[in-house]
Amino acid sequence: MNMNTKIKISIWIWILLLFILISSIEVAAQFHDPKKGGGKPDAQLSQKDNDYLDRQAKVFLDTVQSILSENLPTIPENRARGTAKLLMDAVFHEHYAAFRKPVQQFFHDRVNKVIKELEETTVEEGVRIWKIYDMGFIARTKTVTLAFDLVSGITSGSQDFAMNDDEMNRIVKQCNALLITHRHADHAEKQVADQFIKLGLPVLAPEQVWKNDSIQSEILNPERVADKIQKLKLKKYTLDMVVYPGHQMKSINNNVYLVTTPEGITLVHTGDQINEGDFMTDFEWIDQVSKKYEVDVLMPIAWTTDIFRIVKGFNPKLVLPGHEIELGHTVWDRLPYWGDDEYLGLNYAELKTSKYPVVALIWGESFHYVPK
């Protein structure tokens, strides 16, 4: 092989390598991170395939909206509502669901439903509880409105999915206090807490939440002591409260709030309370709660270990589970409404067939509980 031939081969090799490099850059550009904006929801699919998934999401979620409007939460749950939840599971277990416009529209429709009801609803007896997103609940009695783990949905990774400032402001204005269970961003959002503080409303959280941030001086850190009654002072009322020393596994302090309203209704929100492996110490107080307090409504995390034992420990009149299909988790870690007990090793299905009334609300729904 002469020198000219070698040069020609080298030139062609460099041209080939350059072509491969340019092609790789183009492919990399197509496989962008949707969280950074631009492009299709799932860049690994063709535009045609993405368009199909968008149309499917719209049809499924429009059907969900229709079913829910005609079938309000009841005990026991009717079959139509179960079908609606299955359709939601199908849509929200697509990896880039939060970046699809029909999904974003669905969430904002549900949020604005809550806003409208909060602005127009008074409660004369019992308590009405709205489910917002993740473990976000708002409970209203005749005298008080309490928000638990209220967040915007920004942990989905999509700004367009999350509540905007106006939506969140309108919700906050309807509340008297914010109770945060632990430091994870799908439960504690600094911007939301700041809105409460600016209105002079108390925000409660463990010390681990924004520990080294200036906002910490504005946060109330109640004592985490089992069965110690503390006072939650609002602008017009003072509530009795117990803050149980819960955990999300061992390293995360997770307040479990037991709050009694001026009407004598006792609510419990567990945040991400979970015992796992060798760390089972919290059951020492969980198993004893019902012996000292009469709990009306328990709001537990649906995917916690041994949820049935936790519910028996509190022995509530009503169970409103939360944290289904939270979009900040990987697609396989988004608990579907149908439960998936086998995959997660849970006993959620056992709870739902037990003596305890369980109402699994969908975002934007509420349930009115009246003590008998």
Q: Is 30 helix (H, G, I), strand (E, B) or coil?
A: helix
Q: What per-residue string of b and e applies to 200-238 under the rule 16 or more CB within 10 Å gives b?
A: ebbbbbbebbbeeeeeeeebeebebebeeebebebeeee
- What is the structure's pLDDT at 112? 97
**Residue linked to tokens 């799932």:** 42
Greater confidence (128 vs 350) lies with 128
Determine the Cα–Cα distance for residues 11 and 13; give it in Å rounded to an integer: 5
* CB-facing half-sphere around the CA of 281: CA atoms within 13 A: 11
| pTM assigned to the model | 0.86
Instruction: Give the tokens for residue 42.
Output: 């799932």
- What is the structure's pLDDT at 77? 84
- The string of pLDDT tens digits covering residues 157-210 is 999 999 999 999 999 999 999 999 999 999 999 999 999 999 999 999 999 999
| Domains defined along the chain, listed by start | 124-369 (3.60.15.10)
> Which residues make Cβ contacts (< 8 Å) with residue 358, sequence separation at least 6?
75, 319, 320, 321, 351, 352
Largest CA distance in the chain: 99
Nearest C-alpha neighbor of 81 from the set 361, 364, 366: 361
- The string of pLDDT tens digits covering residues 109-155 is 999 999 999 999 999 999 999 999 999 999 999 999 999 999 999 99
- What is the structure's pLDDT at 276? 74
* pLDDT grade for 344, boundaries at 50, 70 and 90: low
* Mean pLDDT value of segment 330-345: 74
- What is the structure's pLDDT at 45? 82
- What is the structure's pLDDT at 37? 40
